[in-house]
Structure formats: C-alpha cells, structure tokens
Amino acid sequence: MHQINQAWLNGRVDDLAPLVHPEIVMVLPDFAAKVQGRERFLAGFRDFCQNAAIQDFREQDQQVDVIGDTAVIAFRYEMVYVRSGQRYRANGQDLWVFERQKGAWIAIWRAMLEMKEDAA
C-alpha cells in the first residue's frame, strides 16, 4: 500500500502498473460506478496527477488483515490539493484487497468507501 501511495503521490503513475492486477476493479463512493481493468484504473490516477498539485496527504487508522494469500487494507485519509487554481481538502476512506502472487502483493480490488471534498 505504501508503494502504491508513494508512486501516485510523486506523479509516477506508470510505477503502479506492476502493483495492480490486469483486471483490477475499483468501486467509486456509494457504489455509484465501477472501473475495471488496469488501464482504466491507471487513467484515473494519471488524470488526477496531471491536473492537480498535492500539497498534503495523510493516512490514518490503517488496518491490515491477512488470511493466507489475501490481504485487506483499510485506511482514512486527508488530502489538500490545488486544481485549476482552486485549493481543495478531501477526506475519505479506502478499502483495498491484495492477493499474493509469486511472492508479491498485487492489488485486485479497491473501494472508495467515502469521500468528501470541499474548497479549502
């Protein structure tokens, strides 16, 4: 999880590719929509990184549960960023599911359980 967050926070979206499954699924807040597939998943990170400048990102309340070759990671976050000259504060909660494949942990599912965004 640390590798994933550091990659996109530093604008290195291509570094995420080997860390996520080709058929990864991401569910958006309130299960309003879902994104499936590595390229569509990475496109969301690319869009954000190309159009926003992150000023602060903090994780808290991280919980990790591992059973066999499956891991579930949940955490809350706070982020401040600038997009189109406007400063925003986002708060949310993420849930990620990983599978151990050939000794490496690969993200297979992500849910943005909640997200609130306000002008900062």
Instruction: Please name the residues in contact with 10: beta carbons below 8 A apart, sequence gap of 6 or more.
Output: none
Chain centroid offset of residue 61 CA? 16
Question: Residue 69's CB: how many other CB atoms inside 10 A?
Answer: 10
Neighbours of 105 (CB within 10 A): 19
* Domain ranges within the chain, ordered by starting residue: 2-119
* pLDDT for residue 30: 77
CATH class of 2-119: alpha beta
**pLDDT value of position 114:** 87
So what's the pLDDT on residue 120? 84
User: Running along the chain, 120 residues long, what does each successive block of 10 average in pLDDT?
Assistant: 94 96 94 92 95 96 97 97 96 97 96 91
